[in-house]
Structure 1
Amino acid sequence: MRNKYPQEFKDEAVRQVIEKGYGVCDVAKRLGITDKSLYNWVAKAKKSPAKNDELDEIKRLKAELKRVTEERDILKEGRSVLCKRVKERYAFIKSRLNKWKVTRMCSVLNVHRSGFYAWLNEPESPRAIENQQLLREIKEAFIESGGVYGSPRITSQLKRNGTHVGENRVARLMRVAKLKANLGYKRRYFKSTSPSTISSNHVQQQFVVAEPDNTWVTDITYIKTYEGWLYLAVVVDLFSRKAIGWSMQPTMKREIVIKAILMAVWRRQPKSNVIVHSDQGSQYTSDDYQAFLKTNNLTSSMSRRGHCLDNAVAESFFHSLKTERVKRKIYATRNEAKADLFDYIEVFYNRVRLHSHLGHQSPEEYEIRYKSAN
């Protein structure tokens, strides 16, 4: 294997640096790759002058969009205090110091910045000061999670950061600050007893395994954009719930699942046979897909037809993805959707998101601790 990372992975990693403005070292650290590799990928991507002009225009438009969006959001959240006393507007600004810039909030709410800072320096009770500090930490954890953590996970995150506090207090402060985790969609499950004629079900809803690269699960979902559908295939290791392979394509042909499995094989380099569990979709029953599994010492396993619970972990991953990142969102382009999904999978889900199944650890942290103990 000459190249550990497929081109699709490289392209999305470069987008984090060029389009989103993250530092090379920061992105490399979060993705678990070397700084040198990412520098080379970025340098290669910047060689095209036409692409540079396009990226500059994209940056300018994004900055303008960010400004207009912030002003809109400030007005939306602050409309209840627009006609109230100045001190109430100050209180609104204070409660959102970690969300927007003071200058912008003062401008939108028509108050003076110097007056706000003078009010801010008035003495407060020790308890109120402590609550403010705690609320700032809560908001930081909430924002870093993308707005998906409720009070239990926020409490766990604070304890990991060295702040020991009760969940009831965290829940009360979140309620006062109107911080509410994204709620999931209700899903109806339909059971069937029709087994696969291609591969047996080797998993049998036993989703707890003792070591990595024993069993992988895979599935496909779709994301809406104004250019049309973007299809996402993902491969998840049951051991750590880590997304180890993925592919994003404009069509749902069999190549999408093969590329996702190929990424997983490249990244994990399994030393022994691995069970790969899927549904009975045409992509997974295709001759090309089945031949790829056999060539790479992978054993095919399939759910009963129409029985979503047989592949519940993959379903759960997509459920988290859509409720925590994609909910009520329509991307302008497929590339925009790819960049955001890449950020969710590789930066947030694998390396940051606390997973309740793992004892409130991220998949990456869970695997590192397993390796150090073995």
Structure 2
Amino acid sequence: MQARPFKRKWLIQCFGISKQAFYKRLKSHRTKVNNDQIVIQMIKDYRDEVGQRTGGIKLHDNLKSKMESLGIKMGRDKFYKLLRAYNLLVPKTKRYFITTNSKHHFYKYDNLVKDKAPTRSEQLWVSDITYIKTENKHCYLALVTDAYSKKIMGYKFASHMK
């Protein structure tokens, strides 16, 4: 048995609560911790069966009836707090925009620099366009780079591709 740093009688007097309130609080805390552990185990078991990428809403909907049958009342927000506390939230996937479409009817130029390594500066320049997301739209950055020194020879930053 673990030694207590303070006597319960002293704690009850110090906080000005009744014995009944003290023991009720102690019991409710133990019940909450126990219920949390049961729900965490249910989440892990469900994710092992179905898949690790199951999100919070789907988890809550599928486990709600099982929790209620065990006498555990847990709403969506409390369920999310529990997932967050135990680091079980599924990270949101970053949305990427498709920026290249090679299946078009326009002429496609051959790659003239394939298998050619430059031996000196300003022998070969390469260019590229990159998309940069700003607060409310995407902008374009066009770069011309020296392939040997990797220095930027020129650039254009604009909100359009004209």
User: Same fold judged by TM-score > 0.5?
Assistant: no
Structure-1-length-normalised TM-score? 0.17
- State the structure with more CA Rg: 2
Whose strand fraction is larger, Structure 1's or Structure 2's?
2
Structure-2-length-normalised TM-score? 0.35
- Larger RCO (CA under 8 A, 6+ residues apart): 1
Whose helix fraction is larger, Structure 1's or Structure 2's?
1
